Amino acid sequence: MNLPIYLDNHATTPMDQRVLDAMLPYFREHFGNPSSIGHVYGWEAEAAVSKARETIAHAINSTPNELVFTSGATEANNLAIKGVAEAYFSKGRHLITVQTEHKAVLDPCKYLETLGFEVTYLPVQSDGLIDLALLEKSIRPDTILVSVMAANNEIGVLQPIAQIGAICKQYNVLFHTDAAQAIGKIPLDVQAMNIDLMSLTAHKVYGPKGIGALYVRRSPNKVKLAPQIQGGGQEQGRRSGTLCTPQIVGFGQAIAIALEEQPAENERIKGLKDRLWQICGKIEGIHLNGHPTEGLAGNLNVSIEGVDGNALLLGLRSVVALASGSACSSTNVAPSHVLTALGRADKLAYASLRVGIGRFNTMAEMEEVGQAIIKTVKTLRKSQVF
């Protein structure tokens, strides 16, 4: 069976062989619990966890003890948003986020609303960027947290994180960013960007699934965080549960590779995206979703007039594996909340393709996929009535 070309790298990435090689010894040979400090098995595991923690911390310019390992970015987002809400509710019960956030941010915010918190959902402009003046205007005396994702998972838009962080610092409001799609792809510096909490994951950067982290600022002003999982007191009491050494090792290795290869890889991947857009951009009635320049190198999101989105994906599935929106919402019959927030009509939002180009894609694949999209669109337009 010939598998289709994989262009859904925003949903997940294939694990790099170098990552798997680093992980394998910690399943059997070095299997100890990193919390078991009384013998060599625990020491080996703890040393491996510490090394990975240092690597990830270096990538974002934090200290190792500011990282809390989680099961992924979804848990990290929940810990950040709910943990801050619980710890600071006596100061205020107002939060600010953005309409185009991932559901792992929007749903915890909606949950907090059922508990009496108020949430402001900022709109975005037609290019996907927020209005910084509107953000500043929305901050109130009782605002305790602003949560804005670094890179959008559907349209790849890069928000001005450093400017947002500066605004939050000015008003003494905590700033959280979901950087699941950004880590390993763009430079991140929690100090320069004034980030107080940042959610990370490994599987978007060629690492294993099931492991992520939350950066929690300790200096100069320590961020208070109410733990959402109680138990053994691991991670300085902020997230209990036995640490999964193999996954943490894989996370660290994935980040180390990304740091070394990021500049050259971004340039190559952008070249692939530009070529695909050069081919598909000739389709009549095609619309680029998101900012034309402020976006991830490997993201291409388009809407195409005169075709049904599901029919388009069905027609392409033997050639290419991609999506029309977030993988977490792929079974949802509603149009993408991100595209509707951009002002796209439902019909165009349904007729969208999210292309995620990654480390293992080639120029030859872009040529094949581009021609397949053109051919499928022509076929559908002949057979469909709109």
For the chain, percent of residues with pLDDT exceeding 70:
97
**Is the per-residue pLDDT at 386 higher than 60?**
no
| Cβ–Cβ under 8 Å, residues 128 and 157 | yes
Which tokens hold the place of 67? 């990282």
Average pLDDT, the chain: 95
SS3 56: helix
Residue 26 dihedral angles phi and psi, to the nearest 5°: -90, 0
- pLDDT band per the 50, 70, 90 thresholds, residue 1: confident
In this prediction the pTM is 0.95
In Å, what is the CA distance from 154 to each residue of 354, 369, 371?
Answer: 6, 19, 23
pLDDT at site 323: 87
Tens digits of per-residue pLDDT, 150-187?
A: 999 999 999 999 999 999 999 999 999 999 999 999 99
Q: 109, 168, 280, 328: which is the annotated catalytic residue?
A: 328
- The angle that helices 363-383 and 245-280 make with each other, rounded to 10 degrees, is 60
**pLDDT (average), residues 262-268:** 94
* Domains delineated in the chain: 5-12+262-383 (3.90.1150.10), 17-256 (3.40.640.10)
The verdict on whether 280 is a catalytic residue reads no
| Cβ–Cβ under 8 Å, residues 203 and 72 | yes
**Residues 346, 351: Cα–Cα separation, whole Å:** 9
Which residues make beta-bridge pairs with 70? 212
46's CB contacts (< 8 A; 6+ apart) are 32, 34, 35, 37
28's CB contacts (< 8 A; 6+ apart) are none
Instruction: Give kind and range of the element (H or E) at residue 174.
Output: strand 174-178
Tens digits of per-residue pLDDT, 9-24?
A: 999 999 999 999 999 9
